[in-house]
Amino acid sequence: MNYAPETENFFQKVYAVAALIPYGRVTSYGAIAKYLGAARSSRMVGWAMNGASNHPEVPAHRVVNRVGLLTGKHHFPQTNLMQQLLENEGVIIKDDKVVDFKKHFWDPVIEL
DNA sequence: ACGATGACGGCTC
DNA sequence: TGAGCCGCCATCG
């Protein structure tokens, strides 16, 4: 795939921020997008995560949508892996959603 | 070039 | 953080 230079740069930024998500915490695509100055392109963040497969250091399972819904679970090797990893970190998941999402939420705009 | 698609978000009810 | 609708924007057929 040939991506535009800016696009690749965007990818790198997304991975860089995602890699900083603390253990047992989660964030949203929009939060990352906002931190990168592309708040309107939250969708692109999700799309960027699609290529996170080549970046093992990126804990994609800690990135969910704004309501804590594990929308990206279908992109994992095993659909239950995302939930398993989060629960292993102490994050309670119920019906594909993060319980007390606000409590586990980690906003790069505020934290960084 | 056009329309559909999507790991989304914000507003409204 | 329920459900529904619309706006964003890069990518793809």
Domain enclosing residue A98, as ranges: 5-102
pLDDT classification of A9: cutoffs 50, 70, 90: confident
What is d(CA A36, CA A30) in angstroms, rounded to the nearest whole number?
10
| Residue A7, pLDDT above cutoff 90 | no
Look-up of token digits 């991506």? A3
Whether residue A77 is contained in a domain is answered as yes
Residue at A59 is within a domain: yes
Residue A24, in any domain of the structure: yes
Q: Does A1 score more than 70 pLDDT?
A: no
List pLDDT tens digits, range A87-111. 999 999 999 999 999 999 999 999 9
Nucleotides of B under 7 A from a protein CB: 6-10
Question: For residues A52 and A100, what is the distance between their CA atoms, to the nearest angstrom?
Answer: 26
- Nucleotide nearest A29, from its CA to each C1': B8
Check if residue A83 sits with its Cβ under 7 angstroms from strand B.
no
pLDDT single digits (tens) A16-65? 999 999 999 999 999 999 999 999 999 999 999 999 988 999 999 999 99
User: Residue A95: inside a domain, yes or no?
Assistant: yes
- With respect to residue A108, please indicate whether it lies within any of the assigned structural domains: no
Q: Which residue has the tokens 């990135």?
A: A63
Q: How far is the CA of A97 from the C1' of C7 (A)?
A: 25
Residue A74 falls inside a structural domain: yes
For residue A97, the domain's CATH number is: 1.10.10.10
Q: Is A6 exposed, middle or buried (0-12, 13-18, 19+ CB in 10 A)?
A: exposed
Q: How many domains does chain A have?
A: 1
